[in-house]
């Protein structure tokens, strides 16, 4: 079947199978491999993208579901030359180790701060609760996001520890 | 898996597709349960999926006279963000907040949570104590309304024929003095499936319980109203209602099983304690 949708504000038309998942066509057909596959069952959040502006698990969404709709992936938020503020802060705070979960966290955090620019510590924990990280223990990811909501956040940076 | 995927943008097209494909098709809304169940073979394969998540008629939240109606396609996030639902039936907001994480709540719908018919579904006990009706439609027929308690027929079983679509839920808006309670017992704060959940609707007048409705989930094949306990508690003065001995009746209303989430013994004990704690908390405002 033919799928017409928008990825990172570009109109894309693709021939897909009705039962393919959004994460697979983003990675394999559109070539955007920043979106990661972790659990494939909606538990880990590594595949988080925005659908019509809201973070969703692209591993649980049949690609056919996004017909005519707008998808934003991590590549649409920032890249090496022009990182998103959250990417910069996560790097600065040492919130990324193996890095596999990071794109998903950035997608969740960016939506959270867009909707709640002054999110509290608790709201940040809740907003990131659909993303798993097995390296960092979360403290530095949360601090990185919190530093944008509340600039006075204090945690030793990696080069100070 | 499926070979065809339809995205109708109005209800009559969706109904027509279901009439055409009947048991070779299934309705999909958010898909957060269904996609997994079809992928891992827990549900029998189907040829077609009919996606109702973008149908405007199913996404309405409205008050009509004394009735509040919520379309089946309303997502859990939309429930949490609805001022109308927060004002009129806040326990639906509390229940929705407790489900999964933000990404799932952005897709999952109230209709899907009910039709998926898990005994642990978190939107169900609140709808039971609100005595909600389920609105069901099929092609070329009048809509029918079924009380929530009758709609739930068993584990993974609801009163829904092939080609029927749940279009929404409707209930009488409770009067302002009504108190609500919702709590979910779960192993961690997010992304956890319920071990036991409880919803309570309570009215107190002259320091006596005037009306109480209690529903629990994950303690029987469907979420259930605790009728024995309700009749035990109704009419009691506030001071007497909080006596621990009254809560042994909880055992008669529920039939929990042991599974990998919790044992039967654990669920019986927690159910009793949970109910007593909930009633005590709700009544604490009325003690002299």
* Average pLDDT per consecutive 10 residues, chain A (161 residues; last block may be shorter): 98 98 98 98 98 98 98 96 97 96 98 97 97 96 96 85 68
Q: Give the one of B5, B53, B190 whose C-beta lies nearest to A18's C-beta.
A: B5
Instruction: Confirm or reject CATH 1.10.150.120 for domain A85-160, answering yes or no.
Output: yes
The answer, yes or no, to whether residue B287 has pLDDT greater than 80, is no
CATH number of the domain encompassing residue B35: 3.30.43.10
Query: A112: how many CB neighbours lie within 10 A of its CB?
Result: 22
Contacts of B101 in chain A (CB under 8 A): 45, 129-131
Nearest Cα neighbor of B274 from B236, B190, B221, B218 is B218
> Measured between alpha carbons, how far is B148 from B130 in angstroms, rounded to an integer?
9
Same domain, B194 and B216: yes
Q: What DSSP element (H or E) covers B276?
A: helix B264-283
Same domain, B70 and B148: yes
Same domain, B210 and B243: yes
Start-end of CATH 1.10.150.120 domains in chain A: 85-160
Question: Number of residue pairs across A and B with CB atoms under 8 Å?
Answer: 83
Same domain, B43 and B102: no
Same domain, B31 and B84: no
The predicted complex's ipTM stands at 0.96
List C-alpha distances in Å: B76 to A138, B27, B59: 26, 18, 11
Total domains, chain B: 3
CATH number of the domain encompassing residue B240: 3.30.390.50
CATH fold of A2-77: Ubiquitin-like (UB roll) (3.10.20)
Contacts of A53 in chain B (CB under 8 A): none
Contacts of B4 in chain A (CB under 8 A): 1, 18
Say if the Cβ atoms of A18 and B2 lie within 8 Å: yes
Domain encompassing residue B28: 4-51
The residue among B138, B172, B206 that closes a domain is: B172
The answer to whether A147 contacts chain B (CB < 8 Å) is: no
Same domain, B75 and B163: yes
The answer to whether A89 contacts chain B (CB < 8 Å) is: no
DSSP B192: -
Q: What DSSP element (H or E) covers B200?
A: strand B196-205
The pLDDT-based confidence of B288 (bands split at 50, 70, 90) is: low
The alpha carbon dihedral of B33, B36, B42, B46 has a sign of positive
Q: What is the pLDDT of residues B180-239, one digit of tens each?
A: 999 999 998 899 999 999 999 999 999 999 999 999 999 999 999 999 999 999 999 999
Question: What's residue B21's pLDDT?
Answer: 96
Start-end of CATH 3.10.20.30 domains in chain A: 2-77
Q: How close does chain A come to B284, measured CA to CA in Å?
A: 27
Say if the Cβ atoms of A130 and B7 lie within 8 Å: no
> Are B170 and B68 contacting, i.e. CB atoms less than 8 angstroms apart?
yes
Q: Give the one of A19, A64, A130 whose C-beta lies nearest to B7's C-beta.
A: A64
Same domain, B117 and B162: yes
């Amino acid at each position: 079947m033919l799928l017409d949708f928008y990825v990172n504000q570009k109109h894309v038309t693709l021939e897909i199978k009705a039962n393919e998942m959004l994460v697979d066509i983003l990675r394999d057909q559109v070539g955007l491999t920043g979106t990661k596959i972790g659990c494939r069952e909606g538990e880990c959040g590594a595949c988080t993208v925005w659908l019509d502006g809201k973070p969703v698990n692209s591993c649980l969404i049949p690609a056919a579901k996004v017909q005519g709709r707008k998808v934003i992936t991590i590549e649409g938020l920032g890249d090496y030359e022009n990182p998103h503020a959250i990417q910069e802060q996560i790097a600065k705070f040492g919130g990324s180790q193996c890095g596999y979960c990071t794109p998903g966290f950035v997608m969740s955090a960016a939506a959270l701060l867009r909707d709640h620019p002054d999110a509290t510590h608790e709201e940040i924990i809740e907003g990131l609760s659909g993303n798993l990280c097995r390296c960092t223990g979360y403290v530095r990811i949360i601090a990185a996001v919190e530093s944008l909501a509340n600039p006075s956040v204090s945690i030793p940076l990696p080069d100070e520890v | 898996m499926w070979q065809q995927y339809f995205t109708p943008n109005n209800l009559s097209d969706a109904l027509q597709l279901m009439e055409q494909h009947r048991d070779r098709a299934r309705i999909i809304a958010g898909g957060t349960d269904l996609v997994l169940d079809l992928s891992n073979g827990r549900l029998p394969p189907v040829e077609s999926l009919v996606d109702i998540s973008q149908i405007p008629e199913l996404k309405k939240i409205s008050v009509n006279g004394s009735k509040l109606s919520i379309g089946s396609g309303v997502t859990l996030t939309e429930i949490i963000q609805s001022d109308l639902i927060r004002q009129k039936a806040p326990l639906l907001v509390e229940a929705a907040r407790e489900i999964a994480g933000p990404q799932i709540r952005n897709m999952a719908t109230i209709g899907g949570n009910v039709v998926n018919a898990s005994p642990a579904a978190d939107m169900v006990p609140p709808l039971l104590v609100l005595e909600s009706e389920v609105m069901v439609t099929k092609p070329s027929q009048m809509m029918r309304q079924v009380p929530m308690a009758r709609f739930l027929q068993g584990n993974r079983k609801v009163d829904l024929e092939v080609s029927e679509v749940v279009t929404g839920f409707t209930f009488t808006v409770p009067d302002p003095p009504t108190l609500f309670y919702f709590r979910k017992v779960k192993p961690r704060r997010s992304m956890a499936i319920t071990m036991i959940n409880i919803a309570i609707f309570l009215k107190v007048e002259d320091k006596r319980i005037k009306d109480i409705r209690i529903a629990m989930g994950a303690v029987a094949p469907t979420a259930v109203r605790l009728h024995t306990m309700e009749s035990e508690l109704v009419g009691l003065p506030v001071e007497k209602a909080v006596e621990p001995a009254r809560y042994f009746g909880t055992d008669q209303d529920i039939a929990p099983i042991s599974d990998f989430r919790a044992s039967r013994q654990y669920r019986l004990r927690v159910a009793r304690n949970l109910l007593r704690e909930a009633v005590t908390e709700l009544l604490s405002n009325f003690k002299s």
